[in-house]
A and B are shown apart, each in its own frame.
Chain A
Amino acid sequence: MKTMLRRALLAGVAAMLPAFAQAATEVRIMWYSDGNEGEVARDLLNRFEAANPDVKVILDQVPYKMIMETLPQLVSSGQAPDMARVTDLGGQADQYLDIGPLVKDRAYWEKNFATTLPWLRPAGNTTGVFGLMTGITTTMPIVNEALFQQAGIPLPGPKATWQEWATAAKAVAQKTGVPIPIAIDRSGHRVAGPAISMGAKFFDGDKPALVDDGLKTMTKLIYDWHRDGTMSKQIWGSVGGTSYRGANEEFANGQVVLYFSGVWQFPQFAKTIGDGFDWHGVPNPCGPAACSGMPGGAALVGYKSSKHPAEVARVMDYLASEPVHEEYLARTLFLSSHAGIAAKGVAYKADSPQLKKSLAAAQANLLALSPVAFRLQGYLRNRIMFNALIVRLNQAIAGEMTLDEAWTRMTQDVDDGMKAAGVKP
């Protein structure tokens, strides 16, 4: 009895000890994952906590829906978490925390993240440092090489145009009997890259201008492809509104010859296709103006309302440091927005030959992106343009309106959206 009492007393004292130790500052990050990013981030942050016992980082793993719907409300009502991983970079940029004055070495940030820092700046700000891209992505085509081999048709070369790819893919599909020669994700962001290759400028001076000759060329191509069978109605035709529809399942099942999507598909394909057939990413097809895709990626940002801005900056510094950032990219298989790492090339933890080949092609594609693409991705209101593009184009393809009407409606949708957002005409 006495020993029990003694043990209980000791346990009670031990339980109280942490309370007497210095209370750690809590930094909360709202994080979503498309794959293993959450796991990797947690691992890296554990090491940060070990090295910095006065900071405790809580990584709330949330569904993407929360980032898209709840987070904006939290931010607007002043209840935002300290940091969050967001995809709508421009939407609430005026609420981001400028960590420029708080980081250890501002010059390091400005030198290495020069291309992506502008993406996170609110309107009118040209100098602030607002966060870190958690790896960037580029859109690019992925081909089922086995089908080309089966059909006996050679893969088009690095400078091949969209038309050449379309002809080749259609021929391969015909010979091998697969239903989908070309599949493009149903997303305005995806269509934008090829449109830029065709000469679309997306801007008229400072103002957004969605519909121009380049865009018309590309949208007409996609429209025609749906009519002659180069693109199957199975993908775009199966959803409506602004819904996203990828074709990764169809590709993994060997039903697609050329799948225009992006880098983020590689880890998933490595798992689901495995060694089933040869596939890899290829250079972006060309148009008269460029051979470009679109960059993308989620960013880790801090919020003004945070009560611990100094700690936020420390966490950011840690994650942006070269060894840590490189390890993150190597494990999550994202591309680098860090100029230094991109120049050296990331030592990806990829053992399959398909992955290695694809990631190499991806890094090359990243360097070949058009400046228009970077500008568009960094534009605060780009989602208005992407939504208008995809909704109306799909309606034209579904036969609900003609292509001309769709173009008119696109311009109107963008005008309406800009007006509602308070952008002066």
Chain B
Amino acid sequence: MRGAVARCVDWPFEALQRVLGAARMPYVFVAPNLLVFGIFVAAPMILNVWYALTGGTALMPADRPYVGGANFAELLDCADHFAINTCKQDRFWRSVVNTGWFVTFQVIALVLISLITALVLNRRMPWRGFFRAVFFYPVLLSPVVVALIWKWILQPDGLFNALIVANGGIRVPFLLDPSWSFIWTVVVSVWAHMGFYTLILLAGLQAIPKDLYEAAEMDGTPHARVFWRITLPLLMPNMLVVLVLGLIRAVQSFDEIYVLTGGGPGTATQYIVQYIYETAFANQTHILGLAAAASMLVGGVLLVLTLMQLGASAWAKR
């Protein structure tokens, strides 16, 4: 039966290969993905560029007047770039700075924890499936629920404070103090997403041949050497996925943080996507132009960072 199905699928491709030749087959393989991509992802992106270059509040692109770089100029308009309060769009700059700090801490923590967890979950042990599920579970929860759970834990009358008070301490304002709430956005973000990256690294670990480990064990090689010489280099391709995706997603963190702190206290945990979201949707006038321009600036920075990462990995391979 399987053979019959496979034969049905085989012949169109083989026919194509006869026509195009083997060298052109890669294009055939890439085509379906690029088609869906082009229509549903690339076209909206290009429309987004149009939004960034236009003003007004109309939704339909044809109704929007062209303003050139005015949106970008407004975003970057600052009397003194180091004093945020002098900027025209001070909330934009505040969120950029906040995001910078957030990403630095979050990505480092995320990569370290995902790596360690993947290594642990790779071992042969009973109930391995259960333990894998345990670390992956938070990824399945919707951001609203994630934020709700952590609010229960962190609020002034929440679980942590109840434990602290029971042991004679005084309440800690976890979500009301700018520094604490910043730390907790990092923690909650790592908690909610690490399962995703752990799974990627876990898959990558499967690609490392077992006999390499067996040989090392027979030689009595210490763990550190096994890790640095065997595991890490062979894991690098998947590690790159984690680093690139982790960075991109960290910069775009929004959902659970928005529900957890709403950017507060004040603007201590307001990150860039919240700024974009509020500018585009939450104000009565949907200032789509400004939001689109901000998103392009973010995209540009991310592109540069990603290229740097890809370049570094290509250079390291040599």
Spell out A's residues near B (CB within 8 Å): 68-69, 72-73, 76-77, 88, 90-91, 179, 233-234, 237-243, 245, 253, 381-384, 387, 391, 394-395, 397-401, 405, 417, 420-422
Contact = CB atoms under 8 A, between A and B. Distances in A.
B313 interface: no
B280 to A, nearest CB: 9
A396 to B, nearest CB: 9
A383 B57 CA distance: 15
A351 B298 CA distance: 55
B23 to A, nearest CB: 45
Contacts of A73: 59
Given A76-B60, A77-B59, A240 B262 contact: yes
A238 B263 CA distance: 8
B85 to A, nearest CB: 7
B286 A242 contact: no
B14 interface: no
Given A69-B281, A234-B176, A242-B278, A405 B85 contact: yes
B284 A400 contact: no
A421 B60 contact: no
A384 B285 contact: yes
Interface in B163-212: 173, 175-176, 178
Q: Which 6 A-B pairs have the closest CB atoms?
A: A239-B262, A398-B266, A240-B263, A243-B262, A240-B264, A383-B284
Contact of B285 (A237, A239, A420): A420
B120 interface: no
14 contacts: A77-B59, A91-B284, A238-B175, A240-B261, A240-B266, A240-B267, A241-B267, A242-B282, A245-B262, A391-B91, A398-B267, A420-B285, A421-B285, A422-B57
A243 B285 contact: no
Nearest to B154: A238
B75 interface: no
A398 B265 contact: yes
B158 to A, nearest CB: 12
Nearest to B178: A398
A422 B264 CA distance: 31
Interface string B280-302: 01111111000000000000000
A237 B265 contact: yes
B205 to A, nearest CB: 39
Given A239-B263, A240-B265, A387-B284, 20 more contacts: A69-B281, A72-B59, A73-B59, A88-B284, A91-B284, A233-B176, A234-B176, A240-B261, A240-B263, A241-B91, A241-B263, A242-B283, A381-B284, A384-B283, A395-B266, A398-B178, A400-B267, A417-B284, A417-B285, A420-B287
Interface stretch (B39-47, B110-118, B233-241, B268-276): B268-276
A196 to B, nearest CB: 20
A229 to B, nearest CB: 14
A232 to B, nearest CB: 9
A387 B284 CA distance: 9
B58 interface: yes
A240 B278 CA distance: 11
Nearest to A399: B266
Nearest to B269: A240
Contacts of B287: 420
A420 B261 contact: no
Contacts of B258: 243
B168 to A, nearest CB: 18
B261 A239 contact: yes
Contacts of B283: 242, 383-384, 387, 417
Contacts of A383: 283-284
A212 B233 CA distance: 66
Interface in B91-145: 91
Contacts of B284: 88, 90-91, 381-384, 387, 417, 421
A69 B263 CA distance: 20
